[in-house]
Amino acid sequence: MNTAQNTNNIENLTNIVTWSVLLGKWTSFAKSALALPDDEDGDRWKATVAPMIGLQALCFALGECGSLSVDERLLGIDRAGLGIRNHSKELDAIWRSEPMPADLLELLDDAGLALVRAEHIGFGAIVQQDGFVMPDIHEPCLDAIDRGFDGELFAAAPGTILAPGEPAIFSRPRAVPFEVPGLERGPSASLQEQVYRSIDDSRGVVSDEIVAFHTQLPAGRPMLEHAIARGKLVRPQQSAEQTERWIEQQARAFDGRTHEVVRTEDETTDGA
């Protein structure tokens, strides 16, 4: 079976519910796609194959772990982190007496990035209506913590004006733990996103750019602030006066301007 056929078979697999099945799928692919090198220093390269395959499999599996349940994903991320550390130690030992090839260094970087990206998968709450103004979610956050929410939550400040399609809240690793009128909580996991706002006075435009985690950051002010960190409230409650001033500042900025929203595609999703 050639690599293309193997890839098609892999893509046709459905109902992946456990980390072991997901990892096994990509391990089979890596083994079929990787040919043993036939160099003079074959012993070193033959010793390299196993940790190299392991790292490739972990990269691919981490790239798909958003399809898993939250608990299975967290377990997989923990196991993947251990696997990456072990494979890295193996490669360091194998190449101790020689400079490590650039491709292997790149693979180590890819594996580290894949792990960090997987750790930033969660659930968003997206604006559904025109003229949406972010309400104060201080009390819902406290209530969620009292009910056992122990994750991370990022949210726009009270009074923030957002357009349809923009994320107003992002929570990881679990779903946003409360409802907000005008927002729809995403049913499936996705990579964390941020909104950066900039004002171009020369064009008379206020623009928001939605970017995924680890994308090159654009200019502008980030709209989603850290509100809950590891189950603890980290953003103080905003006063009514502060909210009113923020709304007024935005009203002046938006006066006669077009609110543009653009989404920058994540350029790091190259199969790993």
Domain borders along the chain are 3-119, 122-264
Q: What integer pLDDT is reported at residue 26 of this predicted model? A: 59
Q: What integer pLDDT is reported at residue 14 of this predicted model? A: 38
- Work out the pLDDT band at 25, boundaries 50, 70, 90: low
Read off the pTM: 0.79
- Work out the pLDDT band at 6, boundaries 50, 70, 90: very low
Measured torsion, CA atoms of residues 3, 6, 7, 8, in degrees rounded to the nearest 10:
130
Q: Which residue in 259, 183, 265, 189 sits closest to 224, CA to CA? A: 183
The one-letter code for the residue type at 162 is: L
Under CATH, what is the fold of the domain 122-264? nicotinate phosphoribosyltransferase (3.20.140)
Residue 266: pLDDT over 90: no
Q: Which residue in 110, 102, 109, 105 sits closest to 61, CA to CA? A: 110
Exposure class string for 174-198: b at 16+ Cβ within 10 A, else e = bbbbbebebbebbeebbbbbbbbbe
Question: Are residues 165 and 127 in contact, defined by beta-carbon separation less than 8 angstroms?
Answer: yes
Q: What integer pLDDT is reported at residue 254 of this predicted model? A: 82
Q: What is the DSSP letter of 270?
A: S
How far apart are the C-alpha atoms of 227 and 28, rounded to whole Å?
A: 42
How far apart are the C-alpha atoms of 254 and 47, rounded to whole Å?
A: 61
Report the chain's terminal Cα–Cα distance, integer Å: 23
Q: What is the pLDDT of residues 108-138, one digit of tens each?
A: 999 999 999 999 999 999 999 988 999 999 9
How far apart are the C-alpha atoms of 71 and 214, rounded to whole Å?
A: 24
> How many alpha carbons fall within 13 Å on the CB side of residue 231?
6
CA distances from 225 to 140, 157, 216, 236 (A): 16, 7, 18, 11
